[in-house]
């Protein structure tokens, strides 16, 4: 089946309907027709890659309800920000396997929250096998867009994610280019290391609407460039040959007369954007309607503006809506 343009990527599966990164979230995304799914990976104390949005897991698991782990609650600085909670790197995989997933946004996604405490955390290898099986089941090739979280931080505590990622991709047959693989990160240095390791993938640099990439802050301090510098014509020119594209906060594409997509395409680079969500809470103000934060606003008008830029891929939380609109 030919791939659509833009690609519709299930952001953490189908988290508009099921707790993010749970098995049922991914299975629903497959059934709803996504071109690819996007997991985030972080590490355990014993070097297992697990699929969580962040290494701090109090908001997406039942860890706080486990008295045996009460003493693991702590405060850390992650990418320059202070966070208190429970962190994957303080647990072994066997310990994390006893936890169950929860909806991260229960006030907005009440229906999804009814699936709380029913499913275990997935390892990266678990999901890689699920995608392969789903491709066969649904009769189409489903891709992986793998997001690496906090690579500089993890390396600083002795958990280098690069060899772990290479290990899991090679062990499951995803490293040789036979399956559609994209690797993305908010830190360009980890992408460069994986490219140098010979992983056959497209490498996409994630771009925040504000702030600075932490890997460059760690190396250069205040002299580190802003994320926004990377999507200027000069910034894209500097990235050409180092990455295959960029993935930008959708707010950057909603700015009138922006030329990010055209400028990237002129340099042979792809552009993805995140995250297309229908709820008022996540829409630009001009597309919000009545009914409160959880109600769907005029998302189709916002998505039309995004589609008109010529973007190559969109991350969606409700895959059925994304496939229907962008398909």
**pLDDT tens, position by position, 248-303:** 999 999 999 999 999 999 999 999 999 999 999 999 999 999 999 999 999 999 99
**What DSSP string describes 187-217?**
-HHHHHHHHHTT--SEEEEEE-SSS--HHHH
Inter-residue contact 277 to 16 (CB < 8 Å): yes
Residue 61 β-bridge partners: 101
Asked whether residue 1 carries a pLDDT value surpassing 60, the answer given is: no
**pLDDT at position 96 over 60:** yes
pLDDT for residue 3 is more than 70: no
Residues 6 or more apart whose CB falls under 8 angstroms from that of 144 comprise 36, 37, 38, 39, 127, 128, 131, 174, 179, 180, 181, 182
Sign of CA dihedral 240, 191, 210, 13: positive
- H or E element in which residue 248 lies: strand 245-249
User: Which pLDDT value is given to residue 4?
Assistant: 67
Q: What pLDDT is recorded for position 25?
A: 98
Share of the chain above pLDDT 90, in %: 98
* 33 vs 314: CA distance, rounded Å: 14
The pLDDT of residue 19 is above 80: yes
Domain architecture of the chain: domains with CATH: 7-56+122-326 (3.20.20.190)
| pLDDT reported for residue 143 | 98
Q: What is the DSSP letter of 238?
A: H
Q: Give the per-residue pLDDT at 89.
A: 98
pLDDT in tens, 78-90: 999 999 999 999 9
Judged against a pLDDT cut of 90, whether residue 5 lies above it is answered with no
* Model pLDDT, residue 327: 86
In whole angstroms, give the CA distance from residue 24 to residue 21: 8
């Amino acid at each position: 089946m030919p791939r659509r343009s833009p690609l519709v990527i299930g952001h953490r599966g189908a988290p508009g309907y099921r707790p993010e990164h749970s098995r049922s979230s991914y299975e629903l995304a497959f059934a709803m027709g996504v071109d690819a799914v996007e997991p985030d990976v972080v590490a355990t104390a014993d070097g297992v890659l697990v699929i969580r949005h962040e290494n701090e897991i109090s908001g997406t698991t039942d860890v706080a309800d486990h008295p045996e782990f009460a003493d693991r609650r702590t405060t850390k600085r992650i990418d320059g920000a202070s966070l208190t909670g429970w962190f994957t790197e303080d647990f072994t995989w066997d310990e994390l396997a006893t936890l169950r997933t929860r909806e991260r946004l229960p006030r907005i996604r009440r229906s999804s929250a009814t699936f709380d405490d029913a499913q275990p955390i997935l390892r990266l290898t678990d999901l890689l096998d699920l995608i392969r099986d789903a491709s066969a089941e649904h009769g189409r090739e489903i891709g992986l867009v793998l997001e690496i979280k906090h690579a500089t931080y993890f390396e600083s505590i002795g958990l280098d994610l690069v060899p772990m990622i290479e290990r899991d991709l090679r062990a499951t047959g995803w490293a040789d280019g036979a399956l559609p693989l994209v690797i993305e990160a908010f830190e360009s240095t980890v992408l460069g290391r994986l490219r140098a390791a010979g992983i056959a993938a497209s490498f996409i640099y994630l771009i925040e609407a504000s702030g600075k990439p932490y890997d460059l802050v760690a190396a250069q301090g205040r002299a580190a460039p802003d994320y926004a510098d990377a999507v200027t014509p000069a910034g894209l020119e500097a990235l050409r040959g180092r990455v295959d594209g960029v993935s930008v906060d959708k707010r950057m594409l909603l700015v009138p007369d922006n030329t990010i997509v055209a400028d990237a395409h002129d340099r042979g680079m792809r552009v993805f954007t995140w995250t297309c969500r229908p709820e008022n809470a996540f829409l630009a103000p001009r597309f919000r309607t009545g009914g409160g934060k959880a109600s769907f606003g005029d998302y189709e008008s916002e998505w039309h503006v995004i589609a008109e830029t010529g973007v190559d891929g969109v991350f969606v939380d409700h895959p059925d809506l994304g496939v229907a609109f962008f398909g």
